[in-house]
Structure 1
Amino acid sequence: MSQFRQTATFAQNSRNRKMQEKPVKEMRRDWILIALMLTMSLAAMDATIVATAIPQIVGDLGGFSLFSWLFSIYLLIQTITIPVYGKLADIYGRKPILIFGIVIFVIGSASCGAAWNMYSLIVFRGVQAVGAGAIMATVNTIAGDIYTIKQRAKIQGWLSSVWGISAILGPAIGGALADYASWRWIFLINIPLGAGSIALIAYFLKENKVSKRHKIDWAGAAAMLITGSIIMFGLLQGGQAWPWFSQNTLIIILIAMVMIYITVRIERRAEEPILPSWVWKKRIILGSNLATIGMGIATMGPSMFLPVFAQSVTGVGAMAAGFILASMSITWPLSSALSGNLYLRIGFRNTALCGITIVILGASSFLFLPFPGPVWALVAIQMTLGAGFGLITTPLLVGIQSTVVWEQRGVVTGTSMFSRYFGQSIGAAVFAAIFNSVLTDRIDTAPANLQAELPSVNKVVEVLQSHKSVSEVSLYLRETFFAATQNVYMGMVIAGLVTLTILLLTPAKFPTLQEKQ
């Protein structure tokens, strides 16, 4: 009888411990999520806060002709380092790589705050981007590690909401700091945020240390970084610093082809390649990454041209134009969070198909807008696009994460994030070429009575914003801007249709691995 009581007591104590451990585990995961969102906000806020302080930065440091490199160098380095960090996270664990990235980002931010001219600021922005690459590569990987397939959609919704909040708060905070304090504070504010992120991650995130010795593929990493830099540099400078059809473009293409060949040879011989061949041999991962590139291309249409369209054509103010663009950030995290219920029923691929169909419908709607385009319609289109993008990004990312083991999740997450930013670079280059081409053609073929008064392509926005142009000229320029933006959205529709085709060719069934729930 005594033994029976001891057994019963032991069983009851065991149940009590499990009941106590579960809330502790859930509480730890909640704090980790807060840490991940805080860390993500470093990169997300930085993408929006800097743009608003450009006039003050240029006024203080000079170098107006160089300011575009503050964004180009950041995008270039962040994008090309993501796959490398993804592999390193699989080797050394997510925690040390993420903390390393935050530290580098904070150092870069502090250095930006102390910059003495535009050249130094550009260099320090590059340092920031080295840290941002680690943040983008590992935050989503950690979310995939600690949450189940069913929970990941909701978590991705929370992480996506960071970008939405940043799209609204970033310009407001950046403008306030630039006007009432100093532009340097838009960088220095990252220091306490980064310190808080590191403290939370260091305390709450527990990982099993990797005991296996690994041989790092440094040659492959270097080759990938050089190759990626050349391709990204060509995409960022083509059509801007030189014409697309020029000797410089040909040289970039030839160098890129040589470096791709060298990189492939190095990776094939490496024991543990940075980008293993199985990433490209698995149709599910290949199809998902190609679709993510297509999605990245499509996102750049409104991001680049909608705010200036709203101000130049519909006549709203800068703040209102920012809110029109940010309206996409309302539906994106919501559809991302709700996508879990959908992909558990119809599958990851089919959920993404629903998303790209919504994107195509949203982009197509812009083509039927009457001139000059009512504000409510622009908001409705943006919210439609956000709903579609949320149904693409989360299912594809969670889907490929669920097809691999822990030791491979960093690589597939890294390639997915790289695909997204690579697509954005392509979109920026392609849509700029489309927009400028239509603008140039319409100005060159304008009615004879307007030819003498029309400005050059580079002066169109300036003339429309000044409100000093002749009404007939102003009307023609607004109609020209409207037509050029419609062609950009037509490009988005084409990108959407290509993405739709890629998804249809991707296997519908994602063979997810059994997880310990």
Structure 2
Amino acid sequence: MAEKLTKRPLVLASLVSSMFMAAIEGTIIATAMPNIVADLGGFSLYSWVFSSFLLMQAVTTMIYGKLADLFGRKPIFIIGVIIFLLGSILCGLAPTMGALIVFRLIQGLGAGAIQPIVTTIVGDMYTVEERAKVQGYLASVWGISSVIGPLLGGIIVQFIDWAWIFWMNIPIGIIGLIGVIIFFHEEVDTERKSIDYLGSSLFFIAISCLIIVFVQAGTSWAWISPESISLLLIFVICTAIFLWHEQKATSPMMPLALWKNKLIVIANIATLLSGMITLGLSSFLPTYVQGVMGESAIVAGFTLSTLSIGWPISATLAGHLVLRIGFRLTAFAGGFALFLGTFLFFLLDADKGPIYAGISSFIVGVGMGLSSTTFIVSIQNTVSWYERGVATSLNMFMRIIGSAVGAAFLGGILNMRLNHFYQQSGEDLEIANTDMLLDEGMRETISPETLASMQDGLTYALHTVYTGLFMIGTLTFVILWFFPKVTIEK
């Protein structure tokens, strides 16, 4: 397909701007949330502003990938960006927190197309030697956006208005749209296409139920509650029917033959596990640095930003390494870095300080960059044009699900161990009191004895979380021993 495409630098610039728009949306809103809550109210719905976006992105990523294989990348990309921009305009105009959540769903509906289709177009436009390097550049977009997102969000909130966090997407998205419409050309088979409506619907329902359980259970609902059990039951039933249907469908939404490819299976399992590691660190490292080490939010942000620095550097390096030492050894190097980084977190204690935490975080970022770029390029190298969209989307979907599972699983461990510590110590404390540890002003009002007990409890609980992360890191490393040796097809 590469020779059919024209103006590759201009198309790539358009794709990078679109990718940046979707990537920064995940981090820029975090800084603005206190102002949004102050304006709109609805603090009890706080987490759903993030979760609604993630939910819709997760359930549509695979569907868009299949549609891109059927109808071509260009029309699906254009539809995705237009929906995302419409959602962005509406988010800025939201009169209530409930409306904002609905509009974030629309944004997520568009975002589900952007990342996988951008990555697939790059797979189409470039040879494998070029592809490895360009996928590294795309990974850099995510690293850069996660570093500057919170800072840019803070500036916009302080000097303009929180609505511009959403409206700034409009010019960026339009530039990306124009570039792809004018300069990207592809040949798509014009014969009548068969769309797997039933498979797509079953997948949508199953994954929606699963993610809602991950978001709500352990916080709003108990894990063993009628709501959680009912949704998990719907997930199991819909998944079973989906798998049965996909075997018979003319043009299945998820070709099950992909799961017979050893490379894809290993890459996707490792991606799921590494997604758990990334979100586990993002969720709990700032809490450790602020609550246990007693450092400021800025220092906590530094320890996490090193992950975002290590990721793009090593992703770019991976583009060169796969050509020199091959996919298997590069993926293995990424697995070793994840193992080493999570082992350092397993050894973490308050005395080691934030610099140790920052270095450990950086090493995890190196592991993520080396492995994620290698997975995408190797998967795209082993499938045809007609499966490249769905295969790429499947890998990204596994990371999103890994993030959701990781947040729920590790968050559940944290709460359980913290409760256990407080019960054993006989202190009249609850998990809700932990909020005071994360507020520098409130921390000073706590008596030294209670403060010490709360920090001991948080240290105890978070050490268990980091033990869990180390086990996941070890499992990822072990799985990558089985990554097959693949010849690079030019």
Aligned mates of 2:18, 2:252 — CA distance in 1:
28
The residue that corresponds to 1:219 in the other structure is 198
Alignment-mate amino acid for residue 152 of structure 1:
R
1:134-160: CA deviations, max 9, x gaps?
Answer: 002201111111122222232122111
Is the Cα–Cα contact under 8 Å of residues 348 and 510 in structure 1 kept in the other structure? yes
The answer to whether the aligner puts 1:254 opposite 2:228 as a matched pair is: no
Is the Cα–Cα contact under 8 Å of residues 338 and 477 in structure 2 kept in the other structure? no
Tell me the secondary structure at the aligned position of residue 347 of structure 1. helix
1:365 Cα deviation (Å)?
A: 0.9
Is the Cα–Cα contact under 8 Å of residues 153 and 336 in structure 1 kept in the other structure? no
The answer to whether the aligner puts 1:510 opposite 2:471 as a matched pair is: no
1:505 Cα deviation (Å)?
A: 3.5
Alignment-mate amino acid for residue 314 of structure 2:
S
Question: After the TM superposition, which residues 21-60 of structure 1 pair with which residues of structure 2 at under 5 Å, given as runs?
Answer: 28-60=7-39
Query: What is the TM-score of this pair, normalised by structure 1?
Result: 0.90
Alignment-mate amino acid for residue 460 of structure 1:
T
Task: Give the alignment partner of residue 457 of structure 2, picking from 480, 490, 513.
Answer: 480
Q: More deviation in 242-251 or 168-177? A: 242-251
The answer to whether the aligner puts 1:403 opposite 2:377 as a matched pair is: no
Unaligned runs of 5+ in 2: none
Task: Give the alignment partner of residue 439 of structure 1, picking from 418, 423, 435.
Answer: 418
Unaligned runs of 5+ in 1: 1-21
Provide the aligned length of Structure 1 versus Structure 2: 485
RMSD: 1.9
The residue that corresponds to 1:89 in the other structure is 68
Question: After the TM superposition, which residues 181-220 of structure 1 pair with which residues of structure 2 at under 5 Å, given as runs?
Answer: 181-220=160-199
1:463 Cα deviation (Å)?
A: 4.2
The residue that corresponds to 1:12 in the other structure is none
Tell me the secondary structure at the aligned position of residue 301 of structure 1. helix
Is the Cα–Cα contact under 8 Å of residues 280 and 286 in structure 1 kept in the other structure? yes
1:279-327: CA deviations, max 9, x gaps?
Answer: 1122221221111111111111211011222222223322332222111
The residue that corresponds to 1:173 in the other structure is 152
The residue that corresponds to 1:318 in the other structure is 297
Question: After the TM superposition, which residues 463-474 of structure 1 pair with which residues of structure 2 at under 5 Å, given as runs?
Answer: 463-465=437-439, 466=442, 467-474=444-451
Is the Cα–Cα contact under 8 Å of residues 298 and 492 in structure 1 kept in the other structure? yes
Is the Cα–Cα contact under 8 Å of residues 339 and 477 in structure 2 kept in the other structure? no
The residue that corresponds to 1:458 in the other structure is 432
Tell me the secondary structure at the aligned position of residue 222 of structure 2. coil
Task: Give the alignment partner of residue 293 of structure 1, picking from 272, 293, 306.
Answer: 272
The residue that corresponds to 1:7 in the other structure is none
Is the Cα–Cα contact under 8 Å of residues 299 and 354 in structure 2 kept in the other structure? no
1:256 Cα deviation (Å)?
A: 1.4
1:196 Cα deviation (Å)?
A: 1.0
Alignment-mate amino acid for residue 215 of structure 2:
L
The answer to whether the aligner puts 1:342 opposite 2:321 as a matched pair is: yes
Is the Cα–Cα contact under 8 Å of residues 434 and 488 in structure 1 kept in the other structure? yes
Question: After the TM superposition, which residues 29-428 of structure 1 pair with which residues of structure 2 at under 5 Å, given as runs?
Answer: 29-428=8-407
1:380-426: CA deviations, max 9, x gaps?
Answer: 11111111111110111110110011111001001011011111111
Is the Cα–Cα contact under 8 Å of residues 238 and 249 in structure 1 kept in the other structure? yes
Q: More deviation in 380-389 or 211-220? A: 211-220
1:417-466: CA deviations, max 9, x gaps?
Answer: 101111111101111011111211112222x5xx24xx310121224521
Aligned mates of 1:351, 1:96 — CA distance in 2:
34
Alignment-mate amino acid for residue 500 of structure 1:
F
- Cα distance change of structure 1 residues 245 and 349 upon mapping to structure 2, 3 Å threshold: farther
**Percent of matched pairs sharing the same residue:** 39
